[in-house]
Amino acid sequence: MKGDHNGLYQTSYKYVLQTSTIEAIRQSIQSLQDYLESGNHTDSLHSRTYRERQNRKAIEWATQNGKQIIAETDFLERWQRGGNIRGGENLVYFDLDADDLAWAIKMNELTYHQGNMAAFADRLVKSSEYFPDTTLEVIGMVTTRSGVKPLLRQLFVVTNPETLAFPVHIRTELEDRGFTLLDPDNEIWLSPDRSYYFSDPGQNNVLVDENGELAFIDVIFRKVTPDQFRNDYPGLARLVSGIETQG
């Protein structure tokens, strides 16, 4: 260990989050999920009542936990100044902290979770468990015209521009980490504890850092349930039966 500050330690080439810092981040995100899901609610995910309650609870959680609450206009100003990157689900910009460490700051639009912030929080916890080096931290909330969105930060991954993450390397890495490839055609992977899955890891969300190690970014974990699998991949209903009988 060459250096230590702000919950990070320095390896020979890069800073990574300390284990205690990662665990604290997970606990914080888990508290967000628990707070959003607390109470008995029967409203539809798409109902106005559900969205209003989620918006209110997200702001309450941020206030109670000392997180940032910023207006969409303020975020967009920083975004335009610091990167102006739009992905499939995030608006991203880059920022340096007081120690000159680079961070990716993201506003997630909840696009891949039908607006369900609790499901998004659950995904962040699982992603941090399996890919701790790219842990995302919820640092606040952004109030937008379409509702409250989570504000995130992630250590910037310094990549080797001459090296790409080829499918064979990605598959080998995931298998070494205990994941099971359920369907090669759709690249559907089952988590080591057999309770979550994700699909299509590729060069857009798997980077090669300066150490030559793979960094998995923004992996979308979903719980393994018959309904979830049938909704996402109708042709794979038979795999659910196999998972359930083997689990």
Instruction: Scan for tokens 């890919």, then name that residue.
Output: 131
Confidence of residue 233 (pLDDT cuts 50, 70, 90): low
Mean residue pLDDT of the chain comes to: 85
Task: Check residue 152 and give its pLDDT.
Answer: 98
Over residues 176-202, the pLDDT tens digits come to: 999 999 888 878 899 998 889 988 787
pLDDT at 185 (0 to 100)? 81
pLDDT score recorded for residue 32 = 98
Q: Place 223 in a pLDDT band, splitting at 50, 70 and 90.
A: confident
Burial class (CB in 10 A: 0-12, 13-18, 19+), 87: middle
Higher pLDDT, 80 or 184: 80
Statement: residue 246 has pLDDT above 50: no
**Which positions ≥6 away from 200 have C-beta within 8 Å?**
186, 187
> Which long-range contacts link 41-50 to residues 24+ away (Cβ below 8 Å)?
45/114, 45/115, 45/116, 46/114, 46/115
Q: What is the pLDDT of residue 43?
A: 79
**pLDDT > 90? residue 5:** no
Question: Does position 109 have pLDDT exceeding 80, yes or no?
Answer: yes
H-state helical runs in the chain: 19-37, 48-64, 72-82, 117-130, 167-176, 226-232, 237-246
**Is the per-residue pLDDT at 131 higher than 60?**
yes
3-class DSSP assignment, residue 11: coil
Look at 199 and 66; give whichever has higher pLDDT: 66
